[in-house]
Amino acid sequence: MAFFRNLSKFSAIKASSTSRLRNADPFVLSSFTWLSYLSTRISDEKIEPVQCSGLGPTKPHEKPRVVVLGSGWAGCRLMKGLDPKLYDIVCVSPRNHMVFTPLLASTCVGTLEFRSVAEPIGRIQPAISTEPGSYFFLANCTGIDANKHVVHCETVTEGIETPEPWRFSVSYDKLVIALGSQPSTFGIHGVKEHAIFLREVYHAQEIRRRLLLNLMLSDVPGITEEEKRRLLHCVVVGGGPTGVEFSGELSDFIMRDVRQRYAHVKDYIHVTLIEANEILSSFDDRLRGYATKQLTKSGVRLVRGIVKGVKADKILLDDGTEVPYGLLVWSTGVGPSPIIHSLDLPKAPGGRIGVDEWLRVPSVQDVFSIGDCSGFVESTGKPTLPALAQVAERQGKYLANLLNKIGNGGGGRAECAKDIELGEEFVYKHLGSMATIGRFKALVDLRESKEAKGVSLAGFFSFFIWRSAYLTRVVSWRNRFYVVINWVTTLVFGRDISRI
């Protein structure tokens, strides 16, 4: 109640200043009002919180507003390319940074620091921090009313002393849905409760803490042999690039750092990679064979199996095998998240949000969707694109140019772009795939598909290409610098093993 009382005081102050502003300029409210709309209704004695309103429709003297849902690869690349002279940009996302996912696995074992892979949004698009009509809202989108051009949001409070999250809405002239995907668990019992996913920085932090905790617990006096083996058994489920890269990082960590710094338990720690089919199925036989050989050499145990259930201390496979574990990382691909399922918008095969050739959501005005959450509607005849950063990034870049073109052509406002010539449709050309496998080795396949002709390499030189390629893709010079410093520090001094 105290919280709402304070909020009401704040609202009352805001309300009086708002009325002054209203007298001064009937249009001046827009950037201001959303906080004052976090209002309370004050009756004689009782103060009742009411639903806040948020950012209303843009006024004629204001810039049109692009609302971007999500701060991942797609949303951030889009915001970077949007012209802030044409649009006010409002981003709604539960995290205020973009995660450079290709290097995330390296942070789990301390090869890189967490900050090196997180890029603040204000650096990607400075207008968000400086322009009066542009904002970042730390919130989840909970719904979209495409007819009214409004998105509904709820703040992320993460258990901080707030009675409940605040709800607000934001009107848009153009809406870009870039909400990504969520890890697939295939409904397997116990995965959500006991496994750790690898998608966000906080996942990597949890993995690092658990790994170091288990290493230290296994060293205490009186612990049984069996428990020691369980604690130090790291299991990765899913043999795609993420699962393989993480297994490679883990085996490097064990071979170099654990052997030196946890010599008492070095013979107990093991990595098992469980995959239902082939590992790295997107690579050709030769590269897959190379990866299998290298991983096995590094001590990674490859197990072909289907997980049927997960308990707090063991995994159950379909052949009845029980696999005890101390750390379980789940990386079996992604699918649409509940918010995507819940949106009343056209869908592509697989449940993603359907888009046309220009990444517009058909049958609604001014709504676009990019990245992992979107797919071409069946009528386009185009296949669903893979859930990859290179797809998301290029869609973001394409859409930024398209929206700038629309804005320059006078179609930036809601319902105003019907007569604008859109130009070329979005075309995706696959640039190839890369994956590290540990021990300074990587796979690089620069072909459009594994059947096509072109360059495909494996080994140290590929590792060098992998590192150089991703270093150039890191968004800012600041983080590029961090990454290089982290790599050099790790090479010279080993990984950081403090459990902070």
Cα–Cα dist 138/88, whole Å: 17
Most distant CA atoms of the chain, gap in Å: 78
Which CB, 263 or 452, lies closer to ligand FAD?
Answer: 452
- Give min distance, CB of 461 to ligand FAD, in A: 18
Which CB, 79 or 417, lies closer to ligand FAD?
Answer: 79
Q: Are 110 and 212 in contact (CB under 8 A)?
A: no
- Give min distance, CB of 53 to ligand FAD, in A: 19
- Give min distance, CB of 67 to ligand FAD, in A: 10
DSSP 153: E
- Give min distance, CB of 204 to ligand FAD, in A: 8
Which CB, 56 or 94, lies closer to ligand FAD?
Answer: 94
Q: Of all residues in this chain, which one has the CB nearest to ligand FAD in the complex?
A: 72
The encoded tokens of residue 388 equal 């990859």
The radius of gyration of the chain's CA atoms, rounded to the nearest angstrom, is 25
- Which residues of this chain interact with ligand FAD, rule CB under 6 A? 69-75, 92-95, 101-102, 104-105, 140-141, 178-180, 198-199, 242, 337, 339, 371-373, 387-390, 392
- Give min distance, CB of 227 to ligand FAD, in A: 30
Q: Where are the alpha helices (H) located in 310-419, listed in sequence order?
A: 338-342, 389-408
Q: What is the DSSP string of 37-70?
A: TS-EEE-SS-EEE----EE-PPPTTSPPEEEEE-
What angle, rounded to 10 degrees, do the helices at 285-297 and 241-252 form? 30
Cα–Cα dist 177/369, whole Å: 5
Cα–Cα dist 455/445, whole Å: 6
Which CB, 236 or 274, lies closer to ligand FAD?
Answer: 236
Which CB, 92 or 367, lies closer to ligand FAD?
Answer: 92
- Give min distance, CB of 35 to ligand FAD, in A: 20
Helix, strand, coil share of the chain (percent; to 5): 35, 25, 40
Q: Are 57 and 33 in contact (CB under 8 A)?
A: no
Which CB, 272 or 390, lies closer to ligand FAD?
Answer: 390
Q: Where are the alpha helices (H) located in 237-327, listed in sequence order?
A: 241-252, 259-261, 285-297
The encoded tokens of residue 2 equal 């105290």
Q: Are 294 and 255 in contact (CB under 8 A)?
A: no
* Torsion angle defined by CA atoms of residues 331, 336, 341 and 343, in that order, rounded to the nearest 10 degrees: 140
404, with CB counted inside 10 A (0-12, 13-18, 19+), is middle
Which CB, 315 or 373, lies closer to ligand FAD?
Answer: 373
The encoded tokens of residue 8 equal 């009401």
Which CB, 13 or 431, lies closer to ligand FAD?
Answer: 431
Which CB, 316 or 327, lies closer to ligand FAD?
Answer: 327
Query: Which phi and psi angles does 474 have, rounded to 5°?
Result: -55, 135
- Give min distance, CB of 409 to ligand FAD, in A: 27
Which CB, 242 or 462, lies closer to ligand FAD?
Answer: 242
